[in-house]
A and B are shown apart, each in its own frame.
Chain A
Amino acid sequence: MASPLALPAPLALLALPALPAWVILLIAPFVLLNVILGLVTYITLLERKFAARMQSRIGPYRVGPHGLLQPIADAIKLMMKEDIVPNAADRPIYNLAPIVFLIPCMLIFATIPFAPGLGVGDVNIGILFFLAVSSMEIVGLFMAGWGSNNKYALLSAMRAVNQIISYDLPFIFSALVPVLLTGSLKLGDIAAAQQGSLLRWFIFYPVIGQLSFIMFVVSTLAAENRVPFDILEAESELVAGFRVEYSGMKFALIQLGEYAHMIGSSFLGALLFLGAWSGPGPEYLGPAWFLLKMLFMFLLVTWIRWSFVRIRVDQILALSWKALLPATLALLVSTAVVVVWRTNGF
């Protein structure tokens, strides 16, 4: 956390006056949340344009030049929609669910450093905080499904709990590989260990790096309910799943949470495997490189999403428990062996 006197390199350019720590503690999360919100809205547009190009069409085009105002139009539309609450819904749970879903998805950005020292809180257990908090969205999800009093929503919520819990373990294990390679849970340290040259990125670490990256991507797909693992909201069967009874601003909050979680996992992946802010050019370009790498992760996931059909829930669970979990465990153990071997100097 930046002390009042030493600002991180990118901000030093702005020549801000030295501020007391508690002021920075108020401003930084505010700025971060707003940036994330803006990023989330425009990343929906990016995804739509990207997917459209892969499908021989254009995507949003009419609202604003080349569709640039489309996310704003969507946001205004959602805010203006009538808030319909089903008669038999369990009101307190129904109303709280979007908030309980959204808060963890926003909280995960707290420990991510966007440049050396630039972040809300780069705590010692950074990655542990991220992984723990990001699993809490299941609570909000299940509350949404249960509170709607709708069979489709309930089915979807049950599938969600199944799937996210099953895939959190491989997610954690594959995210722990860079931790082992660095020797620290602090995200700033993991990023710093990859600075210097391209080949120091953990994705280029022989064999272990590539394998853990692939497993990270697969677990992210499943933890984010992206096709091929989006049985949770399978539109053609369950018609929007646990979100089916939400409209208007509550739906917007749930969408926001999903995409925020997606971006958060992309940031984490870029940090763990792609070297965070390392890139050619001066230091203050660091966050820009980080953003580009996050977009690369996001587009990779999007590319996979728009190329495959989804698989059934029992197949998803089989894949997780029978294939992915043993594989990530084995990978973690072999990483530990390699690290010990290396520190003892073979």
Chain B
Amino acid sequence: MLDRPTVARVELDWAGPERLTMNMGPQHPSAHGVFRAVVTLEGETVVAVDAVIGYLHRCHEKLAETLTYAQYPSIASKTDYVAAMTSEFAYVLAAEEIGKVEVPKRAQYLRVICAELQRIASHLLWLGTWCMDMGGALGGGATIFLYAIREREDILDLFESLVGARLLYGFFQVGGVRYDIPNGWVAQCRATIDRIDQRLGEYEQMLEQNPFFLARAKDVGVISRELAEDVGIAGPLLRGSCVPYDLRRAAPYSSYEDFDFRIPVETDGDCFARYRVRMVEFREASKIVRQALDTLPGGPISSRPALKSVAQIRIPKGESYARVEGPRGEVGCYMIADGSAKPYRMKWRGASFSNLSILPHIIPGHKVADVVAIMGSVDPVFGEVDR
């Protein structure tokens, strides 16, 4: 069915509905990566979506069996490359859980700060690309995209001062983190988040009551509460459908219980609700960063001696599943350790992979233009999907 020769003409049959099979992707300006959606159209309405993934498969799970605990966190960044720290976080948490490794308080706070900054950066990219999908690369969408990227660059500058890299870090390490904050970083961080909070007000002003934006986002892609709980999605998709589940509250890790923040929950379940959830998450994330910076304790940044050789970290036998609340949902790492320097098996639960399974449920019935709006609000990153 998928290999229909394209030379055939499309016969328009006025007597009845003609179903057109259209291919969106894998190379497509708004596929958010390499994603192929074979949509079946009746006129302008989508009646079926067939998602084809796997174009970005890079054998991460096998790679984890051949790389040691010291080497793999740098590679883990590449699954969710937009929010790279999330995957590293899940991996080291799993290793630490099996090995019962203590993480010093300062390292935990640094992890929280970086994870929340990463959340802000990832949501900025989401906002930009979603509006660009809806508004076109030559139009208002591109304007919001450039504003969002302008703010994201400031956060990436922060990471560059801390780690040396902008996109793929290698910041986490079993037992703590690899880098401590340099002088002047705290001030730069505070200035950056203040500026971003203020600019966010501008974007909300541009979008919130904008009739064109509301026409595209309201009542589009509604996920009912039952569907959300059945299908197994996570993250803002879940919280936009009235399920108040956030791992930072439900199963706190890395000192998240020390911070005071609220979990935004919206009841409508449409794209606009998910947009509201993420906009509130921006502000809550900057609240957490400010609290963490204010109460940052002193002390070491790692409980294990500094990395001097590749097989230095050995985790005893055991298995665990560690999960973090990434910007896209629950990123989980299931690990079986066998006492050596490499895990016996490591499996990723990709947040976007599970979130994509909602698409065949909510897209049919909408128009073609809504497909990109819904995909944008689901916010997949295909490094996580295909691993």
Contact = CB atoms under 8 A, between A and B. Distances in A.
Contact between chain A and chain B defined by CB under 8 Å:
yes
List 9 tightest A-B contacts by C-beta distance, closest first.
A309-B135, A227-B139, A236-B30, A308-B140, A55-B146, A309-B134, A312-B369, A236-B133, A308-B212
A305 B137 CA distance: 11
A315 B134 CA distance: 14
A28 B156 CA distance: 58
**Which of A88, A151, A236, A307 is the most central at the interface, judged by chain B CB atoms within 10 Å of its CB?**
A236
A313 B367 contact: yes
B29 A235 contact: yes
A57 interface: yes
Interface string A244-287: 00000000000000000000000000000000000000000000
Given A56-B146, A313-B44, A230 B139 contact: yes
A220 to B, nearest CB: 16
Interface of A: 51, 54-57, 87-88, 149, 151-152, 154-155, 227-228, 230-231, 234-237, 239, 305-315
B250 interface: no
30 contacts: A54-B143, A55-B146, A56-B147, A56-B150, A57-B146, A87-B7, A154-B10, A227-B138, A228-B139, A230-B136, A235-B29, A235-B136, A235-B138, A236-B132, A237-B24, A237-B371, A237-B372, A306-B142, A307-B143, A307-B206, A308-B139, A308-B213, A309-B131, A309-B140, A310-B136, A310-B141, A312-B370, A313-B369, A314-B44, A315-B215
A311 B212 contact: yes
Contacts of B367: 312-314
A205 to B, nearest CB: 27
A305 B135 CA distance: 9
Contacts of A310: 134-136, 139-141, 212, 216, 369
Interface in B193-243: 206, 210, 212-213, 215-216
Given A239-B29, A310-B136, A234 B369 contact: yes
Contact of A236 (B10, B137, B147, B215): B137
A34 to B, nearest CB: 27
Interface of B: 6-7, 9-10, 20, 22, 24, 28-30, 44, 131-143, 146-147, 150, 206, 210, 212-213, 215-216, 367-372
A55 B147 contact: yes
Contacts of A51: 143
B368 A237 contact: yes
Contacts of A87: 7
A228 B29 contact: no
A55 B369 contact: no
A91 to B, nearest CB: 14
Nearest to B207: A309
B369 A305 contact: no
Contacts of A235: 29, 136-138
Given A228-B139, A236-B134, A308-B212, 8 more contacts: A56-B146, A152-B22, A231-B369, A236-B30, A239-B28, A308-B140, A314-B44, A314-B367
A235 B372 CA distance: 11
Contacts of B28: 239
Query: In terms of DSSP, what is the predominant structure of the interface of chain B?
Result: helix
Contacts of A305: 138-140
B127 to A, nearest CB: 12
Contacts of B135: 227-228, 308-310
Contacts of B132: 236
Given A235-B136, A236-B132, A55 B141 contact: no
Contact of A306 (B6, B139, B213, B215): B139
Contacts of B30: 236-237
A235 B132 CA distance: 10
A222 B260 CA distance: 49
B215 A151 contact: no
A206 to B, nearest CB: 27
A106 to B, nearest CB: 23
Contacts of A306: 139-140, 142-143
A281 B369 CA distance: 50
Contact of A309 (B22, B139, B146, B150): B139
A44 to B, nearest CB: 11
A159 to B, nearest CB: 8
Given A88-B7, A227-B139, A309 B212 contact: yes
B40 to A, nearest CB: 12
Nearest to A226: B139
A309 B215 CA distance: 10
B369 A237 contact: yes
Contacts of B29: 235-236, 239
Contacts of A155: 368
A306 B9 CA distance: 37
A151 B369 contact: no
A88 B10 CA distance: 12
A9 B215 CA distance: 51
Contacts of A307: 140, 143, 206
Contacts of A227: 135-136, 138-140
**Which of B10, B139, B216, B372 is the most central at the interface, judged by chain A CB atoms within 10 Å of its CB?**
B139
Given A151-B20, A154-B10, A236-B372, A311 B215 contact: yes
Nearest to A305: B139
